[in-house]
Amino acid sequence: MTTTLVRLAFAGIRSRLLATTLTILLAGAAAATIVLVLEVRATGSDPWQRTFDAAHGAHVLANVPTREAAEALRGLDGVTESADPVPEATLDLRTGGGREPLRVAGLSGPPAVNHPIATAGSADPRDGVVLERSLARVLGLDVGDRLVLDGPGGRSTLVVVGTAIVPNQGRYPRSNPGFAWVGLGTLDRLQPDQGTWRWDEALRVDDPATAGAVADSVVRGAPPGTVSAETWREQRDLALQEAAPLQLVLSMYTGVLLVVVFVVVGILVGARVLEQNREIGLLKAVGLTPRQVTSVFVIESAGLGVVATGLGYVVGSATAPLVAGAMAETMVDGPVSAADPVHLLVAGGPVLMVLVASTWAAARRRTRMSVLNALSSGQPMPPRRSTLVGLVRLLPLGISLDVGVRAFLARRGRLLLLTAAISLTGAAGVFALSMQTALDDRPAGEPSDVPVELPALVYALDAVLLLIALTSLVAVALLSVRERLRELGVLKAVGLTPRQVAASLVSPFGVLAGVAGVVSVPLGLVLYAAVYAVSGGEGRPAVAPWSWLLLVPVVTVALVVIATSVPARVATRSPAAAALRME
Amino acid sequence: MTALLEARGLSRTYGEGEAAVAALHDVDLTIERGEFVAVMGPSGCGKSTLLNLLAGLDRPSAGEVWLDGARVDRLSETALARLRRRRLGFVFQFFNLLPTMTAAENVELPLLLAGRRRRAARRTARRVLADLGIADKADAAPRELSGGQQQRVALARALANQPDLVLGDEPTGSLDSAAAGEVLGLLRAAHARGQTLLLATHDARVAAAADRVVTMRDGEVTRERTLAPSRPVTLPFDPDPA
């Protein structure tokens, strides 16, 4: 029997190619975004580990006030390896716009532990300076350029001999002040008062899991604020902090996208079952039980869900390294795809659940009908008494809009879901506009702690969301045309012109888009404010100007009208006689 | 005098090549103003196809359709829609009322399309429904009405604009005997008032009420028969008292 049910489930799939393809693409988009978020996290930590290994990183990096204190740490329990203490001082870096504080380490040779890894030129400063890579990029300095450092001992013009990275340094300017290496003599010349130096002691321990305990013992007993110790886990978190805004935005968009996609998939699946009303009747007529009929539909949906999840996994895994590249500036090499099979399961869970649950709910309702009722039309009817319908009756709407809005009100669940989907898409647009305004408001020349990739990522996600929303609208509009074919035939027979028929299909979508567009403005502002607050923004965030925000509903209506015009034109072409089934 | 409606060599073929099916073949038919014509024949003989073509709901493969001296089969879809809303009324076997509208609103629709103001259309719709004996159902949704009541509403919608011609495709085909009799009475009353009727039917009682019966078989008109004038009846309503 199971084989029979499976065969029945996929028997007519070719005749539903468009709906099937759309369902796979939309569910695939949902799976891809889930995989993307998971993979970005995984691929982000991968290059840091490579950096740590290449630098022979410190499990514990202590910062103490004297060389003697630093050397004493080598005797701590569990310490297996250490480097000579490295002194550092904070100097002033002269830039075109003024002065920037800069942490400068003085090297007498490459440290045995936690040594800088050259990304250009040399990691050995000799008489010049080696800049941390992200700092060099923000300052626009390359190997061979000169920079000026000011210290209590005087001013020094140094040649940039290289750029380098270390696993404990976050991306500038999020991690501020920036970091550089000079020769020990240069440091001594710029800051001759060695009493103000701080000393870094890089320690490796036999068991990295005990790094926290070793760090505690470094700090224990010292006067508060004089000694600090950073474990390898803290170094990793600091390095990965660069990805935090990206991950936050990505998570927000993932949430929005999942809601939009699941809403539309729910509509498509529900409508597909409704459309198959006659098939349900036929299956029951040949002897299938309601449970078996429901199983036929659920099997088909689950099959589509499996294909969609596989597709989403491939796309998400391939895209993740591109998105995660933002955080790789302070690390060795770019991220590579993690392609963790567990992510496939995590993404497949919600996708399959939505598909199966919406199919089960829709099919179960239809299979409860009598065979005769199922064989007849299964079109939903408007509610008997409705305040909204009463209101529509009072409004002086044109005939096309009146007819269209009433047809819309007959499917209120779908109406609400569609409004939510369009509102969320519009809200994502408001989010992007506000983010752009905040970036534009930044004083000229001031380095931003917003990752440069963030705007591009937001616009790319907006474009994906918009594409999905518009595709979904076309799908739902086509569905409306199919469901209302007979009604449209009646309207044509009564005397509605093709233009009026098209307007009766498009205009309610336009009204819905208008409402959703208006709702999307406050919704988008709330989302933006929430993300701003969570990402550590201070004060009141700059939001898009009102003139831009007022355009959101207008653009929403325009896009929705354009998207639904194509299916509406299809409706006007179908002959009235065929629609009425007068033959 | 010009005939109200004329079909000349009307043909309609569905499909192409070997799969082509001639639903209608070279049909000539003339309907005079005020005439009640019934088209009879077995299922699949082309009755509905003929009505569709005469009403401009479908395009002929060959032949011409003339309405009141003007050729209409080449009109654009928009022009055909305007023609239908003012000059033609339809009654279908399965009523085809718009489920999202009340009975009164279904009747108002062609009036509004013809340019009546909303209030005037509402008044006329309610009066027509009252004349057809279903005033108390004006605010009911179609699904709340019996088959006979739905067909009365459909008839009211077809007659509301006082069209030149009312076409009916099996208007009593899905009604019980009593409801069919009532609907037939209303059709006859409209005809007595001067309304031109063209009905496709299997119902012998409908055919018996007609002035002329056209019999079709395999897409062709095989016989035309003029009957004795119908018994005069009193019109149950005046569609345009003003």
Residue B1 C-alpha, separation from nearest chain A C-alpha, in angstroms: 28
Q: Of B78, B85, B98, which has the smallest distance from its Cβ to A498's Cβ?
A: B78
C-alpha to C-alpha distance for B46 and B35, rounded to whole angstroms:
21
**Is A495 in contact with B113 (Cβ distance < 8 A)?**
yes
Residue B33, both tokens: 């103003």
A493 interaction partners in chain B (CB closer than 8 Å)? 55, 57, 84, 90, 96
C-alpha to C-alpha distance for A534 and A417, rounded to whole angstroms:
28
Instruction: Decide if A458 contacts A552 (C-beta within 8 A).
Output: no
Report whether pLDDT(A463) > 70. yes
**Is A580 in contact with B113 (Cβ distance < 8 A)?**
no
Q: Which CATH superfamily is domain B5-226 in?
A: P-loop containing nucleotide triphosphate hydrolases (3.40.50.300)
B118 interaction partners in chain A (CB closer than 8 Å)? 396
**Is B141 in contact with A382 (Cβ distance < 8 A)?**
yes
Note the pLDDT of residue B242.
Answer: 40
**Is A498 in contact with B141 (Cβ distance < 8 A)?**
no
Note the pLDDT of residue B241.
Answer: 44
Q: Least CA distance to B50: which residue of chain A?
A: A583
How many C-alpha atoms does B32 have within 13 Å on its Cβ side?
7
C-alpha to C-alpha distance for A477 and A18, rounded to whole angstroms:
13
Q: Of A382, A499, A582, which has the smallest distance from its Cβ to B169's Cβ?
A: A582
- Angle value at C-alpha A350, between A347 and A354, nearest 5 degrees: 140
The separation between the first and the last C-alpha atoms of chain A, rounded to the nearest angstrom, is 38
Neighbours of B201 (CB within 10 A): 24
CA neighbor of A8 nearest in space, from A281, A296, A291:
A296
C-alpha to C-alpha distance for A462 and A257, rounded to whole angstroms:
10
Question: Which of B100, B153, B166 should one mutate to test binding to chain A, selecting the residue with the greatest count of A CBs within 10 A?
Answer: B100
pLDDT per residue as tens digits for the range A248-280 = 787 888 888 888 888 887 887 777 777 777 777
Q: What is the mean pLDDT of residues A442-446?
A: 60
Instruction: Decide if B239 contacts B128 (C-beta within 8 A).
Output: yes
Which secondary structure element, helix H or strand E, spans residue B221, and what is its range? strand B220-226
Residue A457 C-alpha, separation from nearest chain B C-alpha, in angstroms: 45
C-alpha to C-alpha distance for A186 and A307, rounded to whole angstroms:
63
B98 interaction partners in chain A (CB closer than 8 Å)? 403, 487, 490-491
Note the pLDDT of residue B232.
Answer: 47
Assess B120–A contact: CB distance below 8 Å, yes or no.
Answer: no
**Is B96 in contact with A583 (Cβ distance < 8 A)?**
no
Residue carrying the six token digits 């519009």: A426
Assess B172–A contact: CB distance below 8 Å, yes or no.
Answer: no
Note the pLDDT of residue A447.
Answer: 54
Q: Is A90 helix (H, G, I), strand (E, B) or coil?
A: strand
Report whether pLDDT(B155) > 80. yes
Neighbours of A454 (CB within 10 A): 18
Residue A498 C-alpha, separation from nearest chain B C-alpha, in angstroms: 6
How large is the greatest C-alpha to C-alpha distance in chain A, in angstroms?
102
Kindly indicate the confidence band of residue B238, based on its pLDDT and cuts at 50, 70 and 90.
Answer: very low
Assess B147–A contact: CB distance below 8 Å, yes or no.
Answer: no
Q: Least CA distance to A490: which residue of chain B?
A: B96
Residue B179 C-alpha, separation from nearest chain A C-alpha, in angstroms: 21
pLDDT per residue as tens digits for the range B53-80 = 999 888 999 999 999 999 999 998 889 8
Q: Is A490 helix (H, G, I), strand (E, B) or coil?
A: helix
Neighbours of A517 (CB within 10 A): 26
Note the pLDDT of residue A514.
Answer: 94
Residue A470, both tokens: 């518009």
Note the pLDDT of residue B237.
Answer: 45
For the ranges A135-144, A269-278, A527-536, the lowest mean pLDDT is seen at: A269-278
Note the pLDDT of residue A450.
Answer: 62
User: Which DSSP category does B34 fall into?
Assistant: T
Sheet of B21-31, strand order: B21-31, B5-14, B62-67, B70-71
pTM value is 0.71
Report whether pLDDT(A517) > 70. yes
Note the pLDDT of residue A376.
Answer: 52
Chain A and chain B share a number of CB contacts under 8 A equal to 93
Q: Of B52, B96, B109, which has the smallest distance from its Cβ to A577's Cβ?
A: B52
Q: Least CA distance to A398: which residue of chain B?
A: B112
pLDDT per residue as tens digits for the range A150-195 = 889 888 899 999 999 888 888 787 778 899 999 999 999 999 998 8
How large is the greatest C-alpha to C-alpha distance in chain B, in angstroms?
57
Residues of A within an 8 Å Cβ radius of B: 379, 381-382, 384, 389, 393, 396, 399, 403, 406-407, 409-410, 486-487, 489-500, 572, 575-578, 580, 582-583
pLDDT per residue as tens digits for the range A210-248 = 999 999 988 887 777 788 999 998 888 877 766 667 777
Question: Which of B13, B53, B61, B77 should one mutate to test binding to chain A, selecting the residue with the greatest count of A CBs within 10 A?
Answer: B77
Assess B101–A contact: CB distance below 8 Å, yes or no.
Answer: yes
Going from N- to C-terminal start, the domains of chain B cover 5-226
Note the pLDDT of residue A556.
Answer: 93
B114 interaction partners in chain A (CB closer than 8 Å)? 495
For the ranges A202-206, A502-506, B210-214, B234-238, the lowest mean pLDDT is seen at: B234-238
Question: Which of B12, B51, B57 should one mutate to test binding to chain A, selecting the residue with the greatest count of A CBs within 10 A?
Answer: B57
**Is B52 in contact with A410 (Cβ distance < 8 A)?**
no
Residue carrying the six token digits 């204190």: A69
**Is A497 in contact with B118 (Cβ distance < 8 A)?**
no
Beta bridge partners of B5: B31, B67
What phi-psi label fits residue B29: left (phi over 0), alpha (psi between -120 and 50 degrees) or beta?
beta
**Is A495 in contact with B169 (Cβ distance < 8 A)?**
no
Radius of gyration of chain A (CA): 32
Note the pLDDT of residue A553.
Answer: 94
Q: What is the mean pLDDT of residues A499-526?
A: 92
Q: Of B86, B96, B112, which has the smallest distance from its Cβ to A580's Cβ?
A: B96
Q: Of B58, B101, B144, which has the smallest distance from its Cβ to A406's Cβ?
A: B101
Note the pLDDT of residue A332.
Answer: 60
C-alpha to C-alpha distance for B79 and B94, rounded to whole angstroms:
26
What is the residue type of B62?
A
Q: What is the mean pLDDT of residues A352-374?
A: 76
Percentage with pLDDT > 90 across chain B: 44
Beta strands in A369-467 (DSSP E): none
**Is B110 in contact with A496 (Cβ distance < 8 A)?**
no
Sheet of B36-40, strand order: B88-91, B165-169, B196-200, B36-40, B212-217, B220-226
> Exposure string (b/e) for A524-544, b if CB count within 10 Å is 16 or more?
bbebbbebbeeeeeeeebbbb
Q: Which of residues 22-41 of B touch A (CB under 8 A)?
A: 23
C-alpha to C-alpha distance for B202 and B213, rounded to whole angstroms:
11
Beta bridge partners of B37: B198, B212
